[in-house]
């Protein structure tokens, strides 16, 4: 009789521990997915920036066609950034894109007609918003990485994390200084 | 943010339990006082039933009712790209995971609110007065505050709480009515036994006490929770935008331009500042029955964050300013420390232009694009056939007025003057040539006859019955 009760208690404890572990595991998975999602979000916004640039160049061309040199530089920088392989090359390409975009917007100051064009204004708004979205998605990503890294390190959740080797590994932060290719352009009009 | 949602949930359970206890005790005591022990059980059942029915009603169609009562229009991306972008930015920053609908209320009082108990129905509404007054950083702060409400699931929570509060008030109302008109029910049974009569009197007194205290306590609980949720949403806003100053200066502008909106008490906690408060020049303050903390307090906390923008910095600023804790230090152990970013250098002018464009487009204005890149918006009642570009001076032909009317009608279902096009009020004016200077009768197309006296000199009038315009051509020489 006594043995039976003891067995039941042990079994009950085992179930409780298992349920607890499942809860921890699920919350870790949720955090991990959020980290991945944050990363994907950054890429989406970078791609959006690539898509916006040709339209911008087209619009500017209508008003400032003799500024061909600047326009071509922007397109070139964009194509290079898109086809860049490896983080180092990408960083250089994105930096160049940032700079050429800056010069393009500086150029628009000299053309009041361009600055009053609704199409240009809409593109300007889209680019400002995309820069913001890039920095907000980076911010979200970094917050989640911080939470995820803390979550898999603290006791007792680290026991659960270590139980699945390779599944929960520490993530890297997205530092703007380290990864200059993700740096948002400071758009000034 | 997990830790913060968790802290919220703990508090929510406490509040809901408190309200539920008040509800049950009220049902029990009131039922007992009027119907003995069985009455107590019935009282509890009735109280629960009222609550459930009301809750169901609130969840079933609350949003639609609210949207129509406030005359809110849903915006599409093209209507207001800036506002859409700002909402998207905040959805990304918060990790909300879905895009709420965006509504515009054409209202001068600057305000904003979030509604929706489910992701599919949730929406963020702003008034045009808000869009006109705020620059990008400020608008971002306000939108982030509303996204914070959605993140914290405040809408669902405050709806449940408001319905409970409403039920408690209904119960006390029922009790008062019964005491006033139903006193006779008890006297019959109590005449037999003086002990039971005494008990009845005691129960009645107890019921009256509960009837007074119940709604009072419930209100205190409810409004305390409501104010706390405002602070929480402010903290979220600072964290998402990394720029507490944006919200702080937005709050100042909003409270300066405050005018009361007609909204129900139940949804008032969802607004960024209390929509029911009228504008006063003296410093607004809060008390136990305020749905919102005093704006000055909120601004003071936001400005005391001292270079930090995270929840921990907000908690510290809150403690410093108001001498009490908000989240509790335990829940903040994992909160990342974050720093304030630079503000954007965009002025309020873009915001104002877009707000105006959005409101006008929604009011059926026709957008006219000039070749020089200028956009002008022509009001639906504009009668000329061309419009002169205000920048380059070239003339742009417009579609014929009748066609514009038709298009407007097809798009908005109302004619530009606000009534259906087949309404005689919008028909071409009826021509009437005046014969002489005496009494004359005009026969309107609706069959009505209008008398014109000798003193009538006006060039036109409206038929008092069908409101059709009548052009009166006076004879030459008069």
Residue A155 contacts B where some CB pair is shorter than 8 Å: no
Q: Distance (Å, rounded) from C-alpha B200 to C-alpha B285?
A: 44
Of B342, B118, B373, give the one whose Cα is nearest residue B241.
B342
φ, ψ of residue B399 to 5 degrees: the values are -60, 155
pLDDT band, very low/low/confident/very high, at A167 (cuts 50, 70, 90)? confident
The full 3-state SS of B58-105, as one line of letters, equals HHHHHHHHHHHHCCEEECCCCCCHHHHHHHHHHHHHHCCCCCCEEEEE
Query: What pLDDT, on the 0 to 100 scale, is given for residue B471?
Result: 84
Judge if the upstream peptide bond of residue B337 is cis by omega within 30 degrees of 0: no
Chain A residue with CA closest to B392: the answer is: A113
Those residues whose C-beta lies under 8 Å from the C-beta of residue B375, and which sit 6 or more positions away, are A118, B357, B367, B368, B369
Beta bridge partners of B339: B308
- pTM value is 0.74
Per DSSP, chain A holds a count of helices (H) and strands (E) of 6, 0
Chain B residue with CA closest to A141: the answer is: B93
| CA B84 from centroid of its chain's CA atoms | 19
Residue B373 contacts A where some CB pair is shorter than 8 Å: yes
| Interface contact flag, B92 A133, Cβ < 8 Å | yes
Domains annotated for chain B, with CATH where assigned, are 1-360 (no CATH), 420-473 (3.10.660)
| Interface contact flag, B82 A113, Cβ < 8 Å | no
Tokens 């520490």, located at residue: A170
Q: Distance (Å, rounded) from C-alpha B465 to C-alpha B187?
A: 62
Of A69, A67, A62, A92, give the one whose Cα is nearest residue A80.
A92
Over pLDDT 70: what percentage of chain A? 86
Class of domain A25-182: mainly alpha
Mean of the per-residue pLDDT values of chain A:
79
Q: Distance (Å, rounded) from C-alpha A170 to C-alpha A145?
A: 8
The Cβ of residue B98 has, within 10 Å, a number of other Cβ atoms equal to 10
Query: What pLDDT, on the 0 to 100 scale, is given for residue B12?
Result: 76
- The ipTM of this complex is 0.78
Q: Distance (Å, rounded) from C-alpha A87 to C-alpha A46?
A: 14
Q: Which residues of A touch B240 (CB under 8 A)?
A: 136
Mutant choice from B90, B92, B144, B370 vs A, greatest count of A C-beta within 10 A: B92
Shortest CA gap A166–chain B (Å): 23
Give the pLDDT mean for A135-161: 83
Query: What pLDDT, on the 0 to 100 scale, is given for residue B379?
Result: 77
Q: Show which of residues 81-120 on chain A sit within 8 Å of chain B, judged by CB atoms.
A: 113-114, 116-120
pLDDT in tens, B367-421: 788 887 777 888 777 777 788 887 788 888 888 777 777 776 676 655 555 555 5
Alpha-carbon separation of residue B463 from B175, B422, B447, B452 (angstroms): 55, 16, 10, 12
Query: What pLDDT, on the 0 to 100 scale, is given for residue B3?
Result: 59
The full 3-state SS of B320-354, as one line of letters, equals HHHCCCCCCHHHHCCCCCCECCCCCCCCHHHHHHH
Classify residue A168 as left (phi > 0), alpha (psi -120 to 50) or beta: beta
Q: Distance (Å, rounded) from C-alpha B15 to C-alpha B290?
A: 17
Query: What pLDDT, on the 0 to 100 scale, is given for residue B426?
Result: 67
φ, ψ of residue B473 to 5 degrees: the values are -90, 110
Chain B residue with CA closest to A122: the answer is: B81
Query: What pLDDT, on the 0 to 100 scale, is given for residue B193?
Result: 61
φ, ψ of residue B432 to 5 degrees: the values are -135, 120
Over pLDDT 90: what percentage of chain A? 6
Q: Distance (Å, rounded) from C-alpha B111 to C-alpha B89?
A: 20
Tokens 């300007």, located at residue: A124
Q: What are the catalytic residues of B?
A: 146
Who among A113, A132, A146 is closest to B372 (CB)? Answer: A113
Give the pLDDT mean for A49-67: 83
Residue B279 contacts A where some CB pair is shorter than 8 Å: no
Query: What pLDDT, on the 0 to 100 scale, is given for residue B158?
Result: 82
Residues of chain B falling short of pLDDT 50: 184, 187-191, 278-283, 330-331, 333-334
Q: Distance (Å, rounded) from C-alpha B26 to C-alpha B47?
A: 8
| CA B87 from centroid of its chain's CA atoms | 18
Is the pLDDT at A51 greater than 90? The verdict is no
């Amino acid at each position: 009789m006594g043995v039976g009760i003891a067995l039941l208690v042990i079994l009950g404890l085992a179930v409780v521990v298992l349920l607890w572990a499942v809860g921890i595991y699920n919350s870790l998975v949720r955090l991990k997915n959020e980290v991945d999602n944050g990363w994907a979000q950054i890429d989406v916004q970078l791609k959006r920036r690539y898509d916006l640039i040709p339209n911008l160049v087209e619009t500017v061309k209508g008003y400032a066609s003799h500024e061909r040199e600047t326009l071509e530089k922007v397109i070139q920088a964009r194509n290079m950034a898109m086809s860049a392989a490896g983080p180092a090359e990408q960083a250089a390409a994105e930096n160049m894109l940032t700079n050429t975009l800056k010069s393009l917007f500086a150029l628009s100051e000299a053309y009041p007609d361009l600055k009053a064009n609704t199409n240009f204004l809409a593109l300007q708004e889209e680019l400002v918003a995309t820069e913001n979205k890039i920095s907000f998605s980076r911010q979200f990503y970094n917050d989640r990485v911080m939470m995820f890294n803390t979550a898999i390190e603290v006791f007792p959740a680290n026991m659960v994390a270590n139980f699945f080797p390779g599944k929960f590994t520490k993530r890297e932060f997205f530092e703007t200084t380290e990864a200059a290719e993700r740096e948002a352009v400071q758009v000034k009009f | 943010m997990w830790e913060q949602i968790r802290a919220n949930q703990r508090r929510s359970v406490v509040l809901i339990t408190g309200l539920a206890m008040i509800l049950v005790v009220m049902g029990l005591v009131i039922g007992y006082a009027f119907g003995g022990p069985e009455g107590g059980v019935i009282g509890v059942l009735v109280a629960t039933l009222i609550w459930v029915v009301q809750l169901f009603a609130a969840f079933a169609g609350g949003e639609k009712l609210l949207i129509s009562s406030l005359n809110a229009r849903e915006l599409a991306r093209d209507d207001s790209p800036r506002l859409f972008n700002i909402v998207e930015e905040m959805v990304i920053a918060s990790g909300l995971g879905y895009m709420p609908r965006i509504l515009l209320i054409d209202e001068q009082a600057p305000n904003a609110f979030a509604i929706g108990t489910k992701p599919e129905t949730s929406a963020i509404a702003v008034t045009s007065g808000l869009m006109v007054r705020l620059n990008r950083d400020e608008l971002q702060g306000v939108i982030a505050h509303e996204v914070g409400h959605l993140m914290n699931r405040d809408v669902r929570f405050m709806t449940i709480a408001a319905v409970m509060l409403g039920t408690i008030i209904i119960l006390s109302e029922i009790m008062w009515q019964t005491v006033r008109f139903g006193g006779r029910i008890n006297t019959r049974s109590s005449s037999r036994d003086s002990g039971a009569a005494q008990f009845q009197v005691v129960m009645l007194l107890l019921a009256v006490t509960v009837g007074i205290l119940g709604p009072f306590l419930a209100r205190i609980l409810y409004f305390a929770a409501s104010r706390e949720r405002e602070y929480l949403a402010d903290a979220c806003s600072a964290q998402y935008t990394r720029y507490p100053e944006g919200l702080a200066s937005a709050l100042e502008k909003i409270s300066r331009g405050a005018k009361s909106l007609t909204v129900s008490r139940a949804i008032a906690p969802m607004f960024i500042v209390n929509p029911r408060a009228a504008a006063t020049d003296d410093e607004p303050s809060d008390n136990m029955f305020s749905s919102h903390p005093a704006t000055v307090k909120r601004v003071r906390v936001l400005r005391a964050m001292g270079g930090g923008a995270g929840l921990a910095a907000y908690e510290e600023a809150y403690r410093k300013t108001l001498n009490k804790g908000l989240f509790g230090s335990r829940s903040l152990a994992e909160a990342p420390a974050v720093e304030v970013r630079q503000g954007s250098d965009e002025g309020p002018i873009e915001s104002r232009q877009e707000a105006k464009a959005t409101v006008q487009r929604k009011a059926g204005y026709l957008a006219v694009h000039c070749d020089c890149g200028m956009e002008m918006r022509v009001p639906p009642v504009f009668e000329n056939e061309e419009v002169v570009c205000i920048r380059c001076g070239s003339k742009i032909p417009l579609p014929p007025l009748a066609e514009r009317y038709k298009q407007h009608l097809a798009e908005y279902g109302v004619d530009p003057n606000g009534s259906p096009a087949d309404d005689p009020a919008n028909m071409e004016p009826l021509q009437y040539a005046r014969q002489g200077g005496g009494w004359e009768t005009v026969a309107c197309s609706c069959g009505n006859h209008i008398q014109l006296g000798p003193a009538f000199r006006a060039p036109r009038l409206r038929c008092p019955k069908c409101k059709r315009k009548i052009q009166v051509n006076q004879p030459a020489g008069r």
